[in-house]
Amino acid sequence: MKVTVVGAGNVGATCADVLATREIANEIVLVDIKEGFAEGKALDIWQKAPIIGYDSRTVGVTNDYARTAGSEVVVITSGLPRKPGMSRDDLISTNAGIVKSVTEQVVKHSPNAIIIIVSNPLDVMTYQAHLTSGLDRTKVFGMAGILDTARYRAFLAEALNVSPKDIQAVLMGGHGDTMVPLPRYTTVGGIPVTELIGKEELDAIVQRTAVGGGELVKLMGTSAWYAPGAAAAQMVEAIVRDQRRVFPVCVKLEGEYGMDGVYLGAPVILGKNGIEKVIELQLNDDEKALLETSRGHVKEVMDALDKMNKANA
């Protein structure tokens, strides 16, 4: 069982570290364009194995995709991170080229791999990987919803002074500012969250979650990595171990929620075949309106990418 992580920066290295520590694959290959960078990160993770106690081997390579051949799952984290004052959409031009190039190499050496996109702007980079790979939507999807719901659950756990383990939640729509909160589907130990917290405080938590990435950029001067890396690793685990976990992921909608051809966060069942099923919730009118607003924003950036690709063709 081999898993590849492309991009050995903070997010990619964290993902590889979690995969190794949890022994999710026999071999984890880290790839980066910077000479010796992936090799060093992989070696450091491997040297931790005797301390923590795991058997997964981590291997680093510089731009050698032949070493990734036969990977079952590939996580793509490549691209520029956000800087203060920069929106995710500002990254589209540069990162689309990077994701296209990486995806071509991935498909060449691991044609049967399931591809998970983490690069920003997430929804549109997932679309780019889909266009480049030609793979079915069940095999190419993005990590966003798990991260957004993790932030939401962490903030709720803080406010309620309870364990984050007991909080379950679903968020939909685009990653970040235009995400769609679904308090109706948020529970704490099976109890609806609306019975435990007031609307004003809940709304404030939802708003903080929507700009959660930006909050971290302001604090650190760069994008988050611990939670995004762990979220991607959790998706890999669900696939490799055929757990059939229910997660919100960025997926191409094909008629679900009355939408077609747009990449948005939606709950799915994740297993050995990738997306086993897209779950269609019965949204109320307010939730539908929010999802439509989110769809419009993502589609606008997808259209911008299409124009860019035509100009470069």
Per-residue pLDDT of 75-94, as tens digits, reads: 999 988 766 676 656 678 88
List the catalytic residue out of 109, 130, 175, 297. Answer: 175
Do residue 238 and residue 168 come from a single domain? yes
Distances (CA, A) of 206 to 98, 145, 183: 32, 14, 9
pLDDT of residue 154: 98
Q: What's the pLDDT score for residue 120?
A: 87
**Residue 27 domain-assigned?**
yes
Tell whether 104 and 193 lie within a shared domain.
no
pLDDT of residue 177: 79
Determine the Cα angle at 119 with ends 158 and 25, to 5°. Answer: 80
User: Total structural domains in the chain?
Assistant: 2
CATH number reported for the structural domain that contains residue 134 in this entry:
3.40.50.720
Question: Can you give the residue range of the structural domain that contains 185?
Answer: 145-304
Interval 185-211 mean pLDDT: 96
Q: What is the mean pLDDT of the chain?
A: 95
Boundary residue ending a domain (84, 115, 143): 143
Please report the pLDDT score of residue 306 as a whole number.
92
Is 130 a catalytic site residue? no
Can you give the pLDDT at residue 89?
62
More confident residue, 175 or 263: 263
Please state the rounded mean pLDDT for residues 117-132: 95
Among 96, 118, 143, residue at a domain's last position: 143
Q: CA distances (Å), 131 to each of 46, 173, 218, in order?
A: 35, 20, 33
Which of the listed residues 83, 108, 143 is the one where a domain comes to its end?
A: 143
> Does residue 312 form part of some domain?
no
- Is 88 annotated to bind a ligand? Reply is yes
Average pLDDT over residues 2-27: 98
Q: Based on the fold, state whether residues 127 and 156 are members of the same structural domain.
A: no
Q: Does pLDDT of 25 surpass 70? A: yes
**Is 70 assigned a ligand-binding role in the annotation?**
no
196 CB contacts (<8 Å, ≥6 apart)? 160, 188
CA dist 63 and 243 (Å) reads: 32
| 8 marked ligand binding residue | yes
pTM, two decimals, is 0.95
Do residue 108 and residue 237 come from a single domain?
A: no
Among residues of the chain, what percentage have pLDDT more than 90?
A: 88
